Amino acid sequence: MLTLLGTLEKKMTDQKKILILVDGSERSMQTLQYVKQLAPFRNFKLVLFHVFSGVPECYWDMERTSQNQHAISQLISWEHQRKKEIEIFSQKARQILLDFGFAENAVEIKIQKRQVGVARDILKEAEEGAYAAVVLRRRGIGALEGMVVGSIANKLFSKLTFCPLIIAGQHPAIEKLLIAIDGSPSSMRAVDFVAENAGKDNYSIGLIHVIRGFGSLVPDNPEFLMPAENVELAHNEMMELFADVKEKLIKAGFDENKISERIITGVYSRAGAIVEEAEAGGYGTIVIGRKGLSRVQEFFMGRVCNKVIHSGRQFSVWVI
């Protein structure tokens, strides 16, 4: 009996965790709808995390004179009300997941008062909690109309480099993943992440590689075109890599007949070509490595990855 309890306890301890950022907005609720549809997440422990900002510290610098007492009282009342609202929202979010079939002990709420800053507090929690991934949206509560990415999300995109980011998009969680591959270690980690976490969930996989060229930009100057022999060499090398990737995915449980391959050549924008392929192929999610082969070391996120996040706002993007 003790051995069985020990085994169960170890299993709970070893369970992978996903950090889901919530802020009480309708977009956060949409994120929960996305999460509950993702079959790979059903074996994870989900932590609903909110950094509560409360009243800005500068307001507490006001002298507690009789003129300011009323204002301070209103601030305290607002803070209590706001905290109550996020607690109610978090409980509602948790119940949505429980009603969908997640176990009681698989969904945790964690509301933390801001310590340093919202983004930095999230980064600290993500790192110290050893999460398998962090789930968020491009924008949250109070986002300005027309902005693609909010300020907190933008900081996390550039700084959260130690674990995968799952960026929930507008499309539902369709069981079709488009994996962008360029042969870099980062893109190979993206393949490994998909193989490890979605291999048993009946997903269709599209493998895409884009060979950029400048012909569409300056069609009257053939010297800007990549020589045909170079294109053919790059194409053949990628087909060999595709074969290895496909073998890895099949071993992980994916159906060979649900894995497709596509190499696109001669385009000016690799990110644009990836997003267009996702649209044309009816994919719900784009999986991409954080940095490609041509990365500049001081950049936290590669240009192609960053452009896919911004231009493919309707898609969910897994950044590995």
Q: CATH number of the domain at 38, please.
A: 3.40.50.620
Give the integer Cα–Cα distance in Å for 230 and 205: 27
Where among 142, 168, 194 does a domain terminate? Answer: 168
Calculate the average pLDDT of the chain. 83
**Would 20 be classed as within a structural domain?**
yes
Contacts of 64 (CB under 8 A, 6+ apart): 72
Give the integer Cα–Cα distance in Å for 52 and 114: 6
For residues 156 and 242, membership in a common domain is answered with: no
pLDDT confidence bin for 318, thresholds 50/70/90: very high
For residues 183 and 297, membership in a common domain is answered with: yes
- Give the pLDDT confidence of 141-190 residue by residue, as tens digits: 444 344 445 678 888 988 898 999 999 998 888 899 999 999 999 999 99
**Would 49 be classed as within a structural domain?**
yes
- Give the pLDDT confidence of 48-73 residue by residue, as tens digits: 999 998 655 555 455 555 566 666 67
Give the integer Cα–Cα distance in Å for 176 and 188: 18
**Would 3 be classed as within a structural domain?**
no
Where among 168, 186, 212 does a domain terminate? Answer: 168
**Would 6 be classed as within a structural domain?**
no
Give the integer Cα–Cα distance in Å for 255 and 241: 18
For residues 298 and 194, membership in a common domain is answered with: yes
Where among 123, 151, 168 does a domain terminate? Answer: 168
How many distinct structural domains can be found in the chain? 2
**Would 8 be classed as within a structural domain?**
no
Question: Of the candidates 110, 113, 140, 141, which has an alpha carbon nearest to the alpha carbon of residue 126?
Answer: 110
The SS3 assignment for 61 reads helix
Paired tokens of 184? 């870099």
Amino acid identity of residue 268, one-letter, is Y
**Would 1 be classed as within a structural domain?**
no
For residues 213 and 315, membership in a common domain is answered with: yes
Helical pair 270-281 and 303-311, crossing angle rounded to 10 deg: 40
Please identify which residue in the block is written with the tokens 């422990």: 45
Question: pTM for this one?
Answer: 0.82
For residues 23 and 161, membership in a common domain is answered with: yes
For residues 158 and 182, membership in a common domain is answered with: no
Question: Of the candidates 249, 290, 23, which has an alpha carbon nearest to the alpha carbon of residue 162?
Answer: 290
H helix or E strand, kind and range, residue 285: strand 285-288
For residues 156 and 189, membership in a common domain is answered with: no
For residues 275 and 144, membership in a common domain is answered with: no
Mean pLDDT of 8-19: 67
**Alpha carbon distance, N-terminus to C-terminus of the chain:** 41
Domain enclosing residue 302, as ranges: 176-319
- Give the pLDDT confidence of 199-257 residue by residue, as tens digits: 989 999 999 999 876 544 444 554 455 566 667 888 889 999 999 999 999 999 999 99
